[in-house]
Amino acid sequence: MNVRVEYRRSNLVYEDILHNSVDFGLVAFPVKMRQIEMIPFRNDHLVLITHPSHPLAKTGDVQLQRSPAQVHGFDPDIPTRKAVDQIFRENRIEIDPVMEFDNIETVKRAVEIDAGVAIVPQATVLQEVRQGTLSAIHFKGKEFTRPLAILHRKGRVLTPAMKKFIETLGTDMSGEQKI
C-alpha cells in the first residue's frame, strides 16, 4: 500500500473525490453529496490555545463569556472557522480576528509567539502541549466538537487494501469507532 497525505481545502477534497483523483479524503464538517459516500470518523474536541505564559493558560477551564483578547482564526471559508464563528454567535460574543490563516500550522505558530489565542481541534496541538510551546484550555461547562468523515466516491469498489486502510484509522466501514 502506498499512502500519500496532502493538505487541501475541503472544497478541493470533494472535487478530487468526484474526479477520482484520490481514493479517500478526510474532511471536517462533512457535507452530504449524492455521489460521495461518507464514513463518520470521529469528533475532534475544540480547545482554546494560548502561549504558556498567557494569563488564561493558568486558569484550567475557561468560561466563554467575552472575547478572549486577540483572536487568530482560520480563513472565513474554512469549515472549522465557520463552526468557531457559530460558537461565538451562540454565546453572543463579538470577535474581530487579528489574523486569519488557511491552515492549522500557521495558526499554531502565531499563538506560539504570544500574538494572541485561537480555538482549534485538540488533536492538532497534542505535540505542542506536550513540548510546552502551547497551552490547551477546555471550556467550562461546554464541549465543542467538529465531526470528521472519510470520503470516497459512491459506487467505487473498495479493494482489500483500501478497507484495511480504513480499519487502520480505527473505523470500520459503518463508521463505528473501534476501541
Fold of 10-42+147-168: D-Maltodextrin-Binding Protein; domain 2 (3.40.190)
- Residue 72: predicted pLDDT: 81
Give the domain ranges of the chain.
Answer: 10-42+147-168, 43-145
* Same topology between domain 10-42+147-168 and domain 43-145: yes
For the entire predicted model, the pTM comes to 0.79
Amino acid letter, residue 43: N
What pLDDT, on a 0 to 100 scale, did the predictor assign at position 27?
93
Per-residue confidence (pLDDT) for residue 36, from 0 to 100: 95
The ranges of the chain with pLDDT < 50 are 178-179
Contact status, residue 118 vs residue 105, Cβ threshold 8 Å: no
Predicted local distance difference test score (pLDDT) of residue 90: 82
Provide the β-strand partners of residue 149: 27, 40
110 with 57: CB under 8 angstroms?
Answer: no
Fold entry, domain 43-145: D-Maltodextrin-Binding Protein; domain 2 (3.40.190)
Provide Rg for the chain, Cα atoms.
18
- Confidence at residue 67, expressed as pLDDT on a 0 to 100 scale: 57
∠ CA 52-53-54, nearest 5°, is 95
What is the rounded distance in angstroms from the CA atom of residue 75 to the CA atom of residue 39?
26
Of the candidates 126, 124, 76, 123, the one whose C-alpha atom is nearest the C-alpha of residue 101 is 76
